[in-house]
Structure 1
Amino acid sequence: MRSLKNGLFLLAFFLVSSLVSAQTSKIISGSTKFSVKFIMGTCNGTFAAPTGTAVFNEKNPENASFDIKIAANTFDTKSNTRDKDMKSDKYFYVEKYPNIHFKSSKVEKRGAKYQATGTLSIRDVSKTVTLPFEAKKNADGSYLLASTFEVNRLDYKIGEKDWKLKDIVTVNLEATIK
């Protein structure tokens, strides 16, 4: 009888532990930076911090999931003319497609890092991508997630082929989740 009680207690403990570790978190802060080379050098810019939800625990990465949005109309390179052009239907078309969206379908640990595979949607194009990321647990229990990846802007109809502007954009995304 005692072993049955102990077994039930352990089962209940593990169930509660797994529910707590799989708790959905919100993005509480972050940043989205990008760079792209062009004829005059490198254009650096930002978008507003990502928003959305995440489920993440480094002990169970296979149970992780991310649903992240970035407001496309927050595109900022400190050049009003360029920023206005980039928000037009020629590039991001923010009136019709207000968000850049990533929703994961699988998360895996790869050595000391992780990778999230899912759908990246920009404008009216959605593609399956794998984004590498690092996770650091903070003292308050939150996680800092950081990813650097490249996107071919032409794959998502962001402008057209142009000898003055390179196709590959490097994105640095950080999010603190809690």
Structure 2
Amino acid sequence: MKHLPFILILWTVFSNITNAQTSRVVSGSTNFSVKFVLGTCDGTFDAPKGTAVFDENNPGKSSFNLTIDASSFQTGNKTRDKDMKSEKYFHVAKFPEIRFKSSKIEKSGNNYRASGTLIIRDVSKNVTLPFDAKKNKDGGYTLSSQFEVNRLDYQIGEKDWKLKDIVTVQIVAEIH
């Protein structure tokens, strides 16, 4: 019985480690849509990559450091995709990654919010992204977020009556 306090301390330490362990993104998707004069353009980027620390019981101890390969941009139209990768829009030769690094994770109702820095074309903006977290049977999580980005805030193209400024982004990341 004299070892009970020591055992309780060890149990507390190890249970906290397992609840908030660093995971890596193992799969997912990145989709977007933007309205233009002929309708809506839907497209994809590769899944996000990076690391995530997520503890649903203590979101304040959680963090994300994610990147998306900007050159993986696809809409199903080779001419448009080439144009979007050019200096005029994403300029992927100079800015190959889209990055998000959180500074704060908090619970918001039944969901969560990740505040941090979103960097596109070397333009950094503080953003708050809503997300949902579902625990998987294997102990990992599926994190999903839908949010809007004003492309002009990140110098993606110029003001144009043919293309709307607001882009809807949907990201899903499987972490383990």
Q: TM-score range by the shorter chain?
A: over 0.9
Q: Which residue of 2 aligns with 1:169?
A: 167
Q: Which residue of 1 aligns with 2:152?
A: 154
Aligned with 2:9 (options 8, 11, 32): 11
Q: Which residue of 1 aligns with 2:79?
A: 81
Distance in 2, matches of 1:50 and 1:110, equals 23
Q: Which residue of 2 aligns with 1:67?
A: 65
User: Can you list the C-alpha shifts for 1:115-145, whole angstroms capped at 9, x where unaligned?
Assistant: 0000000002000000000000011111000
SS in 2 for 1:77: coil
TM-score (norm 1): 0.97
Q: Which residue of 2 aligns with 1:140?
A: 138
Distance in 1, matches of 2:57 and 2:20, equals 10
Report the AA paired with residue 36 of structure 1. V
Distance in 2, matches of 1:60 and 1:10, equals 20
User: Can you list the C-alpha shifts for 1:29-65, whole angstroms capped at 9, x where unaligned?
Assistant: 0000000000000000000111000001211111110
Structure 2 residue runs of 5 or longer lacking an equivalent are none
CA shift for structure 1 position 16: 1.0
SS in 2 for 1:11: helix
Report the AA paired with residue 61 of structure 1. P
- The 4+ residue runs of structure 1 with deviation greater than 4 A are none
User: Can you list the C-alpha shifts for 1:48-90, whole angstroms capped at 9, x where unaligned?
Assistant: 1110000012111111100000000000000111000000011
Q: Map 1:99-138; keep pairs closer than 5 Å.
A: 99-138=97-136
Greater shift in the superposed pair: 13-22 or 87-96: 13-22
SS in 2 for 1:14: helix
Report the AA paired with residue 97 of structure 2. N
Distance in 2, matches of 1:111 and 1:11, equals 32
Distance in 2, matches of 1:20 and 1:173, equals 25
SS in 1 for 2:13: helix
Report the AA paired with residue 50 of structure 1. P
Distance in 2, matches of 1:77 and 1:134, equals 26
Aligned with 1:93 (options 91, 110, 113): 91
Structure 1 residue runs of 5 or longer lacking an equivalent are none
CA-atom RMSD in angstroms: 0.7
Distance in 1, matches of 2:20 and 2:143, equals 16
CA shift for structure 1 position 96: 0.5
